Structure 1
Amino acid sequence: MGESSQSSLLLRKQLSELNKNPVEGFSAGLIDDVDIYKWEVLIIGPPETLYEGGFFKAHLFFPKEYPLRPPKMKFITEIWHPNIDKNGDVCISILHEPGDDKWGYEKASERWLPVHTVETILISVISMLADPNDESPANVDAAKEWRENFPEFKKKVAKCIRRSQEE
């Protein structure tokens, strides 16, 4: 059995688990039924956070070497957040390649580990929405605004939420 069939079996298993036992806060499915490596997720803005009420669509792209290597995650819905760059790419430790961080910011244990699943990834992303890490921002402008001009930051987030509800 090749690597790709291993990874596709694992992804199918995770997909059917999520369909059987949905997790609060998000839903997940395939972008196109024939490709198990491309997922679409809908993240519901977590209650009692700035993102409450938002419906944020994102795509997960899994490498054939999954679960040895992490997927990439990209928000399709516009979202203003220190850890999501302007193209929608999500930048959090658990999606970084495994091993030590050459910049020394992250411990290997915070980075990608093969035990992570779609569920643990999305739970991390939801907690990141609730609690941004402005120390290693992907969107420097959002991080600066989060620190220095919170009312303006909140306004931009509110605009993203309104847009997300219209889509």
Structure 2
Amino acid sequence: MAERNLRTERIQQERKNWRKDHPFGFYAKPMKAPDGSLDLLNWTAGIPGKSNTLWDNATYPLTIIFPEEYPAKPPKVKFPAGFYHPNVYPSGTVCLSILNEEQDWRPAISLKQILLGVQELLNTPNPDSPAQEPAWRLYTKDRVAYEKKIREQTKRYANPDK
């Protein structure tokens, strides 16, 4: 029970910190449970593409699922299934070292750090950690074709006011 309270307290603190201080253009909030209450373990989020990159002028949707063992274990961060990126599995799960408990995950990593890390990954894929073979192949072998695919995807998530 104490572990559950620790997790809930930590997530509530993350939510409070996020609401006070989050990067411009980002959003992150708990989903609503069927009874209308907040489901602190399941969040929706959005990451803007960095300015002057192929990802610019769009906001990319994510879900964040906090496990029972959080913060000892990292949350699972997912784009919609089929999201095109060398470091995103076909399921949408993000492959990023700070989200991997075997690599760089630390319980002190904040929601803000996670979302900024995912934003950075969009424009700077890690070719040494492929999660999606077709996107990885184009990124490493045919950059022009890769960039065309990214521009097409960006249009799907384009911000209507830009």
Task: Report the counterpart of residue 53 of structure 1 in structure 2.
Answer: 57
Instruction: Supply the RMSD in Å over aligned alpha carbons.
Output: 1.8
Q: Secondary structure at the match of 2:114?
A: helix
Distance 1:126 1:151 in 2: 21
Say if 1:58 and 1:77, in contact at 8 Å, map to a contact too.
no
Correspondence 1:143 to 2:136? yes
Correspondence 1:129 to 2:122? yes
Q: Secondary structure at the match of 1:36?
A: strand
1:20 to partner: Cα distance: 1.6
TM-score w.r.t. the length of structure 2 is: 0.89
Task: Report the counterpart of residue 163 of structure 1 in structure 2.
Answer: 156
1:77 to partner: Cα distance: 7.3
- Give unmatched runs, 5+ long, in structure 1: 99-107
1:48 to partner: Cα distance: 2.0
- Give unmatched runs, 5+ long, in structure 2: none
Task: Report the counterpart of residue 89 of structure 1 in structure 2.
Answer: 93
1:25 to partner: Cα distance: 4.5
1:143 to partner: Cα distance: 1.0
Correspondence 1:35 to 2:39? yes
Correspondence 1:71 to 2:78? no
1:24 to partner: Cα distance: 2.8
Distance 2:110 2:146 in 1: 31
Distance 1:80 1:148 in 2: 16
Task: Report the counterpart of residue 105 of structure 2 in structure 1.
Answer: 112
Question: For the structure 1 residues 131 and 29, does the alpha-carbon distance in structure 2 shift closer, same or farther, using more than 3 Å as the test?
Answer: same
How many residue pairs get aligned? The number is 156
What letter corresponds to residue 88 of structure 1 in structure 2? G
Say if 1:70 and 1:112, in contact at 8 Å, map to a contact too.
yes
